[in-house]
Amino acid sequence: MSEMTSDLRSDCGSCFGLCCVALTLTKSSDFAIDKPAGKPCPNLGEDFGCGIHAKLRGEGFPGCTVYDCFGAGQKLSQVTFDGVGWREEPGSAELMFPLLPVMKQLHELLWYVGDGLRRDAARPVWGELRALREETEELTRGSAEELVALDAEGHRLKVNAVLVKVSELVRGEWAGRVPPARKKGKKRRVDFRGADLMGARRAGADLRGMNFRGAYLIAADLSGADLRGADVIGADFRDADVRGADLSEALFLTQTQVNAGRGDGGTGLPGALRRPEHWG
Alpha-carbon span 272 to 5, nearest angstrom: 9
Mean pLDDT on 166-192? 80
pLDDT-based confidence at 184, cuts 50/70/90?
low
CB 8 within 8 A of CB 107: yes
For 91, 130, 150, 254, 259, the CA distances from 68, given in Å and listed in that order, are 26, 24, 22, 9, 9
Indicate the CATH number for domain 186-274. Answer: 2.160.20.80
Q: Give tens-digit pLDDT for 26-82.
A: 999 999 999 999 999 999 999 999 999 999 999 999 999 999 999 999 999 999 999
CB 159 within 8 A of CB 113: yes
Q: What is the largest CA-CA distance in the chain?
A: 67
pLDDT-based confidence at 189, cuts 50/70/90?
confident
Q: DSSP label at 197?
A: -
- Rounded to the nearest integer, the mean pLDDT of the chain is 94
With a CB cutoff of 8 Å and minimum separation 6, the contacts of 32 are: 59, 60, 61
| Helix, strand, coil percentages in the chain from 3-state DSSP, rounded to 5 | 40, 5, 50
- What residue ranges do the domains of the chain occupy? 6-23+67-172, 186-274
Range of weakest confidence among 28-37, 85-94, 177-186, 247-256: 177-186
Q: DSSP label at 66?
A: H
CB 251 within 8 A of CB 229: yes
Q: DSSP label at 276?
A: P
